[in-house]
Amino acid sequence: MSRGGGKGLSLKDKLDGNELDLSLCDLNEVPVRELAALPKATILDLSCNNLISLPSDFCSLMHLVKLDLSKNRLQQLPLDFGRLVNLQHLDLLNNRLVTLPVSFAQLKNLKWLDLKDNPLDPVLAKVAGDCLDEKQCKQAAVKVLQHMRAIQSEQDRQRQRKLQAEREMEKKREAEQRAKEAQEREVRKREKAEEKERRRREYDAQKAAKQEMEKKTKKETVQTRKPASGSRPAQPPRHKHSWSRSVLRVLLFVLFCVLCTLAACKLTELQRQPLCVSVNTLYEDVLAALQNHKTLQNMLQQNSQQ
């Protein structure tokens, strides 16, 4: 690593015991990978460089006990800076820091802190105070840790309140959803009951209509059968009467013919014809029979009177 980038620089050559001095190296980035390979370097001096920010993996150097970042151009520290839980001494003099990450409260072993010459937030600046001697720097570490823990607690409480509000909102949504589902079930149940009742009424109506139709058909059948059975005795007389008329007409026609023939055989010159002779003979025989029949009737009548 060159002076600008750090390549070509041997960290082992700069390691003195457990102290690694990288100050005044014109660094604009931290060689985290090389530092991670030297876990015994618990004291690290990165002061008087051109560091604008620290990479997030810088917080993996959890073996650091003392860290000097003074006189750089740091505008902020990584959000998980609190992972450096073994850190006891931290020098941030003359940077461009305004606030500290909330995780700073996790530096439970921090005993010395210098935040002078930073454009700190007024509240944080008042809490940190001056670091003009050992005592003030130690007090600054204690007060800043307390302040950051208070901020962390407040944020935790806000987060808890937010989570609680979200849970309550979720419960409310679930309750509303359950109520909505219950209402929908009730609506579906009512609609199903109404549909069932409607179908039952339709079934009853169809059944009643069918029964009424069967009753009407049966009644019509009975009414149709009664006239048929009543007309049967009357039909033969009508037929008989019609047949009798036909026979009577035939007899009258035959009698007319006979009379005409008889008249012709009696009154005309045809009486000498063989046919007329037979007719006249038959006529006389019939008259004789009728007379005998009349005489017989008189005799029978007299016998009945005696």
Average pLDDT over residues 233-259: 70
Contact 67, 46 (CB under 8 A): yes
Mean pLDDT, the chain, rounded, equals: 85
Question: Of the given ranges (176-180, 227-231, 243-247, 285-289), which has the lowest mean pLDDT?
Answer: 227-231
pLDDT class for 304, splitting at 50, 70, 90? low
Of 103-107, 141-145, 220-224, least confident by mean pLDDT is 220-224
Residue 94 belongs to a domain: yes
Instruction: Give strand pairing partners of 43.
Output: 19, 66
Exposed/middle/buried for residue 47 (C-beta within 10 Å: 0-12, 13-18, 19+): buried
Per-residue pLDDT tens over the stretch 186-231: 999 889 899 989 998 899 898 888 888 888 888 888 877 665 454 5
Percent of the chain with pLDDT over 90: 50
pLDDT of residue 1: 44
Q: Would you state the structure tokens that stand for residue 144, as one six-digit string?
A: 């800043």
Tell me if 259 is assigned to some domain.
Answer: no
Report residue 3's pLDDT band, with 50, 70 and 90 as the boundaries. Answer: very low
Residue 252's pLDDT is what? Answer: 82
d(CA 190, CA 272): 115
Query: Which one, of 48, 84, 91, lies nearest residue 67 by Cα?
Result: 91
What pLDDT is stored for residue 241 in this prediction?
A: 63
Whether 293 maps to a domain, the answer reads no
CATH number at residue 64: 3.80.10.10
- What is the predicted pLDDT for the residue at 153? 92
The structure tokens listed for 50 are 């051109």
Mean pLDDT is lowest, of 65-74, 93-102, 119-128, 205-214, for 205-214
Using the predicted structure, report yes or no on whether residue 6 has a pLDDT greater than 60.
no
Q: Is the pLDDT of residue 96 over 70?
A: yes
In a domain, 137, yes or no: yes
141-154 average pLDDT score: 94
Of all helices (H) and strands (E), which one includes residue 300?
helix 274-305
Structural domain span for residue 87: 12-155
Percent of the chain beyond pLDDT 70? 84
CA 121 to the chain's CA centroid: 56
Number of domains the chain contains: 1
**264 inside domain:** no
**Domain assignment of residue 90, yes or no:** yes
pTM: 0.56
* Identity of the residue numbered 146: Q
pLDDT (tens digit, 9 = 90+) per residue, 34-58?
Answer: 999 999 999 999 999 999 999 999 9
Structural domain contains residue 26: yes
Question: Does residue 248 surpass a pLDDT of 90?
Answer: no
- 234 found inside a domain: no
Please say if the pLDDT value at position 277 is more than 80.
no
pLDDT at 178 over 50: yes
